[in-house]
Amino acid sequence: MASEQAARVTSTEETLEGTSPPSQPVDLVHLSRYTLGERALEREVLELFCTQSVLYLEQLRAAMSDKAWKEAAHSLKGSARAVGAWRAAQAAERAEMLQGDGLTQFRTARISEIETSLREAEAYIASLLKTG
């Protein structure tokens, strides 16, 4: 699964956190490092991410305060970073920074951006889990 695919990625293709988004929705090199290449753990972590990301997205939608919004966005950011879903993590980080009038003004756009990045990551993960 991810560890096998990650082995095919050269060091020049690796994307570090904070740089431009990687070509794939999940950084398999990062995931493999995080799980020490253990396939069962990779599967478990990816499945957990898919489950948790839906809950965090619902928390964002339901957030009635800056604090609730920030907590949900922060949790999603951490979850996405853990599996190497950098685009989703970046979208969550942008959402986490919103507060007050900015939250009111950009809330819908940030939720849409997060939804798009999560759908992409979840579809990619589903394809990995099918072949793994």
Closest alpha carbon to 99 in 89, 110, 88, 90: 110
Closest alpha carbon to 3 in 55, 49, 54, 41: 41
Q: Which residues contact 54 (CB under 8 A, 6 or more apart)?
A: 118
Distance CA 22, CA 51 (A): 23
- pLDDT value for 131: 82
Q: Is residue 120 part of a domain?
A: yes
Look at the alpha carbons of 48, 21, 87, 24 in this order and tell me if their dihedral is positive or negative: negative
List the domain range (segments joined by +) for residue 78.
2-9+23-131
Predicted confidence (pLDDT) at residue 3 exceeds the cutoff of 60: no
How does pLDDT run across 11-59, given as a tens digit for each residue? 323 334 445 556 899 999 999 998 999 999 999 999 999 999 999 999 9
Q: Is residue 92 part of a domain?
A: yes
Q: Is residue 29 part of a domain?
A: yes
DSSP state of 97: T
Predicted confidence (pLDDT) at residue 122 exceeds the cutoff of 70: yes
Token duo for residue 9: 């990625």
Distance CA 56, CA 28 (A): 23
CATH of the domain at 126: 1.20.120.160
Distance CA 100, CA 107 (A): 10
Q: Is residue 16 part of a domain?
A: no
Number of domains observed in the structure of the chain = 1
